[in-house]
Structure 1
Amino acid sequence: MADVETLLTICRHFHPTDKGFRWDAVPLKHYKPEGTHFRDITRQVLFGPESGLPAELRYFEVAPGGYSTFERHAHVHAVLILRGRGRAIVGEQVFEVAPFDLIHVPAWTWHQFQAPDDEALGFLCLVATDRDRPVRPTPEEAAQLRQHPVIGPYVRL
């Protein structure tokens, strides 16, 4: 029979609160160490390299009015919206998203997740454990993105 410590590793209970979604023994971390290209977002790594999986399952929570970095990279994302509503920019499209919507972010595709001013947005994100570093737009790319007829009005840089 497994001891209590092993059981906690196998099963981490979920706790919804008015301040966000949390799981037992899962540290709440800042989205990124510093920067002005994102706003009010946290992450929790639910399953990481220690799980023996070749992927990480992460939960991100974007506070009202917040947003993730507008970026692209070689690795893909599989995203499941769990909490609230918001906006997902993927490539040259803007999607209004709500709980249980699925978003696939292909390799080298610009993307960003945004919460509305009145509600938090929470989502699971599945990525490969071995992955590259994100790339942000150059000043020239940023100028072009801001002029894009569909995503331009929504991009936060």
Structure 2
Amino acid sequence: MTDSNIRRAREGFLWEGVEVLAYKDKGSAPFRDVTRQLLFRTDDLGCELRYFEVSADGHSTLERHEHAHAVMILRGRGVCLVGTELRSVGAHDLVSIPAWTWHQFRASAGEPLGFLCMVNVARDRPQLPGEADLAQLRADPKVAAFIRT
């Protein structure tokens, strides 16, 4: 490995040569206080490794899509929804998100939730829930209290 293949970690869950990006375009989907960093994109492996950070009390978009995710929590605490299952998550927990499964991440109060997410390079666009989807999700009172749209 040469120096050009190494990007050193910087303080605060940042990396040399990696830009901190908006999570999504403003107004494109409901979310609150999330950033994204593209750490690796390699066609050789067919995947991207991204780092997301959800600020304290922030949340990702409630969405689903054809592609699966593999997530590793790096820092903080929060709760994630996968399908209709709610789980508390913390550093080093692993979350598998199957295809076509509703999912959303929320950071706990007082601390950000940072996680790595591996996805296919070629993937479909996320789908947002419609009214019928929301009604079905909200049939479970715990899920209804959790989701943000």
Q: Same fold (TM over 0.5)?
A: yes
- Measured after TM superposition, the shift of residue 153 of structure 1 is 1.1
CA contact (8 A) 2:73 2:94 kept: yes
CA contact (8 A) 1:92 1:150 kept: no
Show the 5 A alignment for 1:100-119.
100-119=92-111
Task: Give the TM-score normalised by the residue count of structure 1.
Answer: 0.89
Show the 5 A alignment for 1:131-142.
131-142=123-134
CA distance in 1, matches of 2:11, 2:82: 28
Residues 1:16 and 2:11 aligned together:
yes
CA distance in 2, matches of 1:10, 1:26: 13
CA contact (8 A) 2:48 2:119 kept: yes
CA distance in 2, matches of 1:62, 1:55: 22
Residues 1:48 and 2:32 aligned together:
no
CA distance in 2, matches of 1:143, 1:91: 14
Structure 1 segments of 4 or more deviating over 2 A?
A: none
CA distance in 1, matches of 2:40, 2:70: 14
- Measured after TM superposition, the shift of residue 116 of structure 1 is 1.4
Tell me what 2:91 maps to: 99
The count of residues paired between Structure 1 and Structure 2 equals 148
CA contact (8 A) 1:65 1:118 kept: yes
Report the secondary structure of 1:75's partner residue: coil
CA distance in 2, matches of 1:126, 1:81: 12
Deviations 1:27-67 (A, max 9, x none): 10000011261000000000014x63300000000001110
Higher mean displacement: 35-44 or 70-79: 35-44
Bigger radius of gyration: 1
- Measured after TM superposition, the shift of residue 143 of structure 1 is 2.6
Task: Give the TM-score normalised by the residue count of structure 2.
Answer: 0.93
Gaps of 5+ in 2: none
Gaps of 5+ in 1: none
What percentage of aligned pairs have identical amino acids? 49
Deviations 1:60-105 (A, max 9, x none): 0000111000000000000000010101100110010000000000
